[in-house]
Every structure is written in C-alpha cells, then in structure tokens.
Structure 1
Amino acid sequence: MESKADVKRRLILDTTKQIILENGFNSLTLDAVAKKANISKGGLLYHFSNKESLIKGLAQYIFEQFCLNFYKYAENDSDDSDEKGKWSRALIEASKFDLEHYKELNVGIFATSYLEPEIAKTISDGYKTTLKKLEDDGINPITATIIRLALDGLYYSQTLNVAPLEEKRVNEVIQQLLEMSKSEERL
C-alpha cells in the first residue's frame, strides 16, 4: 500500500506530466503544478525543493513508467507459446506507446539525463537491465540488437525532430520489427 507521501508525490509528477503534454515545457512552473494538483506550494516544495528537482523526479518517473509498461507488455504477450521474442516485442510495444504519448516528455528526459550524471546512470542501468532481457529472448541476438537500435533511432528521430518519419512509416517500421521478433530462429 502506498503511503500518503507517495500518493502525493505521484499526483505531483502526473500533474507535471500533464502540464508539459498540454502546454509544453515552457509552461512548467511550480505555481502551475501546485494549482493544477490542488495542493499548496509548500506541499509541493516538501516533495520537490525547486523546479530542477521536479524535472529530475519527472525524468526518473517517466523511465519507471516505461519499465512498468515493458514488463506489462511482456507479461501479456501471447504471440508465441514458447515465448521466443516476447521481450523484443515488449520493448517494441513499450517504445511505440512511449513515442505516441510522451514525445514532449522524452525531450526533457534526454536533456535532464545529459545534464545530470546520476539520472543518466539510473536510466542507463535500467535500460541495460531491459536489454539483458533481449539477449536471452530466444531469437537471434543480432536480430534483437537490430530491433533495439531501430527503436533507438526512432527515439532520436521522433523526439529530437531530426528528419522524423511520418506516422504511417513509423507504424510500418514497428510492424516490421514485430515481424522480425516472431520469425527469427536462434543461432
């Protein structure tokens, strides 16, 4: 059971996420978060002493949400009775959801992790754990790596707006990656 402090912290982070998604990063202020969350500014400052600590907390929270989705997709995978490729498919599905719903937030996560070594290490360690699942996925490890690198490329392109693909092409790439996860034999 979550403590009252954990519930309030999650409310603050969800509200912060909502403000950014609705109005962009430039609209983020501590006053706006407190008002929208219907809490006092002092209550907000108890959990996050300043805007920087709020953004750091948000970066960690978003990555934790990604990891929870990753495990949820793997748990619900029903494509293969022998489970080959389930972790690769989970990464594909979690990445697809994340790119569709949290593009603006991912920009902030990239910036925060670039500027904050401890956040970068936490995210990197978490991602390494995710990638370890792909290594033991029962499909060709090179195929699993290609899937991972294609997803990394989609994040780079879509999130940083570097020659982003149209939605139709993104969906086609996702479908191809899913097919790769199903048809590969282990070497």
Structure 2
Amino acid sequence: MNKKSQLTNSQIIQAALSVAAEKGAGKVTLDAVAKAAGVSKGGLIYHFPSKEALISAMVQQLIEEAECQRSLQERTESSTLAAVLQTRAHFTRQIAGNTAMAILAAAAEQPALLQPVQQHNKDVMQQIQAEHGNALQATLLLLASEALIYHDLLNLSPFTAAERSALEQQLVQQARELQV
C-alpha cells in the first residue's frame, strides 16, 4: 500500500471514529463517513469495501493504539500488569468513551468483528499470568481495572474522577507490589 493510500485509510478511520463519537454507532454509515472524511463514497469503498471492513479497521486501530501506549509504559514499569493498568487508565481518558462504546456496539452487531479484541485480551492475560507467581491476584487486578472502564463506558460509575483516579493508582501500586 502506498503512502497516499495509507494516509487516506487513516483519514477515513479517523472520520469514522468521529462519526461514532459524535452521532453513535447507528450513524456510522458509509455515506456519513465518506462525507466526514471528505472523500466520495466510491473512494471510501475503494479503501473499505463494506461497513464491516471499516469497523474492523476501527477496532484494529484501537488495539494498535493501546499496544503503542502499553509499549511506552513498559519502559518505566517493572511488570506487564502495571504497564497494562497504567495504559488503560490513560488510554480510556484519551479516547472518548462514546467512541469506544460506539465501536463496540457496532461490532457487537457482528460478533466476529470483536475477535481481534478477544484475542488481544487473551494474549495480554496469558502474558500477565505467566509473569506473576500469583496469577489469581494479577487477574483480579486486571479485572478490577476493566470494571472501572466498563462502568465509565456504560455511564454506570458511582465514582468521581478523583475517586476513579485514586482507585486506578491503587491498582497500579498493588500490581507493582505483586511483582516483588
């Protein structure tokens, strides 16, 4: 794929993420995304032949962004678990919750589109469990982090931003202590 095509793919994915964030999953149509990206519908279809292909690319981009952030965190953290917890705390704040929720909702219409997320989560879990003598405690910390994220995504969280931050810091601290 040439540089211009990669740039256009990125622009289209960003436009689709914007449509999802602003209007919701149901409004991620090829027409709406083409308009937001400033390309013709034919141009969009050249890059992403279907809505499913576009959603799949959106999901893959979120995974890649999360992995990039985790890689940066691993440079300063002593364990994969601590790096993952730090990444989730920062990454969740960086992307609009409604963007992630819209992508997940759209992908949920076709569960196969979530397979890359499932595989990514499985790989991360295996790496964390292999790294810790107390795999059960490591798993509990990871699940607590996920609960905070999903509470926010579903607008169910009883915590203020300060309380959530304190909980996230506590999870990271426990992950660091677990590594010792």
TM normalised by structure 1 equals: 0.80
Query: Which residue number corresponds to residue 10 of structure 1?
Result: 10
Q: Deviations over 1:86-106 (max 9, x none)?
A: 211221122112321231122
Alpha-carbon distance in structure 2 between the residues aligned to 1:114 and 1:22: 19
TM-fit CA distance, 1:27: 5.1
Counterparts of 2:92 and 2:127 in 1: how far apart (Å)?
21
Q: Which amino acid aligns with 2:131?
A: D
Alignment of 1:1-187 (within 5 A): 3-25=3-25, 28-74=28-74, 76-77=75-76, 79=77, 83=78, 86-100=79-93, 101-138=95-132, 140-184=134-178
SS in 1 for 2:131: coil
TM-score, normalization by structure 2: 0.82
Q: Which amino acid aligns with 1:103?
A: G
Q: What's the offset of the Cα at 1:3?
A: 4.0
Is the deviation greater in 135-144 or in 94-103?
A: 135-144
CA-atom RMSD in angstroms: 2.5
On the 8 A contact 2:26/2:106 being kept in 1, the answer is: no
Counterpart CA distance in 1 for 2:29 and 2:162 is 35
- Cα distance, 1:30 vs. partner? 3.1
The answer to which of 168-177 and 115-124 deviates more is 115-124
Query: Residue 151 of structure 1: CA displacement?
Result: 1.4
Shift of 1:51: 3.5
Whole-angstrom CA distance in 2 between matches of 1:109 and 1:31: 17
Of all paired residues, the percent bearing the same amino acid is: 25
Contact 1:59 / 1:108 at 8 angstroms: preserved in 2? no
- Alignment size in residue pairs: 179
Structure 1: which 5+ runs fail to align? none
